[in-house]
Structure 1
């Protein structure tokens, strides 16, 4: 089965560094960029740039530059018409650690970029260059990237996205409009209860991004019918067992557990994203862009599945469907 991203959710997984991830149609207020990765032990510096073109030397709307040389600090700047602007610095509360994983979220606001690192507000960089000019996210330096994801944008017909280095075609949206969806919801509390407008339908993708804290034992995703309190899909990550259990709860009884999977991507202290696509006959589950499992429908009336419930030892950074 092939990976299909959710509407308005465009990920690039495990790119070589340096890399560029396209931003189709420019940025607009309400959009966000998520970057997850790891800082190697030998790191000196790395940079995340919101570029106004796909090549070196183009204008840079935001230059985010952590430096590990002596006094750890983060430099913010812009690059326009061949010259760097005035540097802004944050020296306290350095959120990056050599050998550690991180998640960086750039929220696009009308007045500037709100930067969140590891779930905590870190800095706000006021716009110096119109956000609509941004064409790509450019990452370079001493860093390993797990994913770069643009949330809330549209793409023209045939524009490529990337999944594990392979190209695929994205859907088109009229006039570059943001499609109607139940999200994104940024940094929601746990437990999370989300209403699915109109219920589940075939060819719909649900995305959950999060972090597993050290010492976490388990977390779950439930696709439920609020009218019957039945669970069509129970996706249960059990860290203490090293297993991911899938099941259903119908007519007051749990069904047969399914546990088989090619790998276990859920590790305490690391970030992940889960994409669940509701096919005609089964749920198709991807984790970090890789095929993970399928679960055949046991609850046939998909439109009655109107609630997504998330609970357990997890910190959520985004839910979108």
Structure 2
């Protein structure tokens, strides 16, 4: 049976983690996240150890001290930085979501951003010495995935102290009647998460604090094998600001807003990134003018705000033909 890739979801920043098995030719690292508005810089390091003086084989460092931004790539070895390599025309402005793919070749690291090749950085330190990834700066990360050549996976990333293996069920979460939505039977735990009780569906949770630009909501779950549809709603006292509704019988993801008892016009364009019987990660990023939705770490949909009083959004609601493993509000 094929092993699952090593993965980590919603790590706290700064983040340092071990790369199980180290690097090899063909191995890739996919980092999905969001550059904070007003960011000055952030970095992704591939390191030879986790201590503060460890050699850094690849320092990937987007900077925003001049527009439209640029990337510095470098190596730190024997206590000294090498000669910087700079790449201009960086296609990742502040406030944007991104998908960074780093692939190891025999001669270099190949960097791909949002599906397009960005730059190559030739090895100055043998990649066989790299065993650690570190991320810091003005960035939020929704997922990190390590994939071996030929799609062979890695053992799951060990549970971190910030996210205990057993989810807690806070008192402000209510669990409506489950009638009509039995749990999906027989699903193994998602990568990186030990076997644990699932959140009940339908699921509701209070969104504590003021909902505002920059807020991330991440849901890990599995679509039932015979699923028809599921929905994720961001509710306010007068209706629904975002109704996100994958429909498998129509092979479409519907987005909409509800004012009182009245629905607006639906948006139906874009991909269907969810599949029956498959696990998924859904991340909703609140931007100034829209919700940016990532599915499995990849940008999927953008939905412009129709309800603009974001501070009134107070409840997350999930319903339909899925099981839920983790919710971060």
- Specify the TM-score bucket, using the shorter chain as the normaliser: 0.5 to 0.7
* Structure-1 residue corresponding to 2:309: none
Aligned partner of 1:29 among 25, 29, 32:
25
Instruction: Return the alpha-carbon distance in structure 1 between the equivalents of residues 124 and 292 of structure 2.
Output: 35
Whether 2:83 is the aligned partner of 1:91: answer no
Structure 1 alignment gaps of length 5 or more: 1-5, 169-200, 207-220, 224-230, 249-257, 275-282, 293-321
TM-fit CA distance, 1:86: 1.3
Segments of 5+ residues of structure 2 without an aligned counterpart are 167-185, 192-221, 234-241, 251-275, 286-290, 298-320
C-alpha distance in structure 2 between counterparts of 1:8 and 1:135, whole Å:
19
- 5 Å matches for 1:218-229? none
2-structure distance, mates of 1:74, 1:122:
10
Shift in alpha-carbon separation, 1:162–1:273, aligned structure 2, 3 A: farther
The residue correspondences of 1:137-152 to structure 2 (distance < 5 A) are 137-152=133-148
Q: Deviations over 1:103-142 (max 9, x none)?
A: 1110111211110011110001111111121111100111
Q: Is 1:41–2:37 an aligned residue pair?
A: yes
Aligned residues: CA RMSD = 4.0
Determine the C-alpha separation between the residues in 2 that align with 1:110 and 1:273: 28
Q: Confirm or deny that 1:273 pairs with 2:296.
A: yes
Distance 1:154 1:167, change over 3 A: farther
Aligned to 1:134: 130
TM-score by length of 1: 0.54
Q: 1:17 to 1:204 in 2, by over 3 A?
A: closer
Match of 1:116 in 2: 112
Contact 1:21 1:136 in 2 (8 A): yes
Other-structure match for 1:76: 73
Structure 2 residue aligned with 1:165, among 153, 163, 186?
163
Who is 1:244 aligned against?
246
Answer yes or no: is the 8 Å Cα contact 2:33–2:139 preserved in 1: yes
Query: Does the residue aligned with 2:94 lie in a helix, a strand or coil?
Result: coil
Given the superposition, is the C-alpha separation of residues 52 and 264 from structure 1 closer, same or farther in structure 2, using an over 3 Å criterion?
closer
Q: Determine the structure 2 residue equivalent to 1:62.
A: 58
Aligned equivalent of 2:47: 51
Count of matched residue positions in the alignment of Structure 1 and Structure 2: 210
Cross-structure match for 1:290: 326
Which of 9, 17, 41 matches 1:13?
9
Task: Give distance in 2, aligned partners of 1:135 and 1:81.
Answer: 17
The change in CA–CA distance for 1:141 and 1:67 in structure 2 (over 3 A counts) is same
Deviations 1:156-184, CA, capped at 9 Å, x for gaps: 7x97255972359xxxxxxxxxxxxxxxx
Contact 2:282 2:295 in 1 (8 A): no
Instruction: Provide, for residues 18-58 of structure 1, a one-character-per-residue CA deviation record: whole Å limited to 9, x for no partner.
Output: 10122011111121111111111121111100011012110
